[in-house]
Amino acid sequence: MKKKSPPIPGLSFSWKRAVGITRIKQKVARETGIPTSMTGVERKVGKFILNTLFGKK
């Protein structure tokens, strides 16, 4: 059995980028101010809760 050669570093393919889904998600996130990533949403919600509880400084 022949070993598979390692992929070229820095060279990858994303079908979502090729189709344009990534650009649409970025545009929606910028216009609405709501992040599309799960961590971004968690950070935004957490900041809102802390500001509500302790007040904005």
Give the Cα separation of 3 and 19 in Å (integer).
32
Does the pTM surpass 0.85? The reply is no
Which residues, given as ranges, of the chain have pLDDT below 70?
1-2, 56-57
- Its sign, for the CA torsion 7, 38, 17, 19, is positive
Instruction: For residue 14, count other CB atoms closer than 10 A to its CB.
Output: 9
Q: According to the model, what pLDDT value does residue 57 have? A: 57
Q: According to the model, what pLDDT value does residue 4 have? A: 74
Give the Cα separation of 57 and 51 in Å (integer).
8
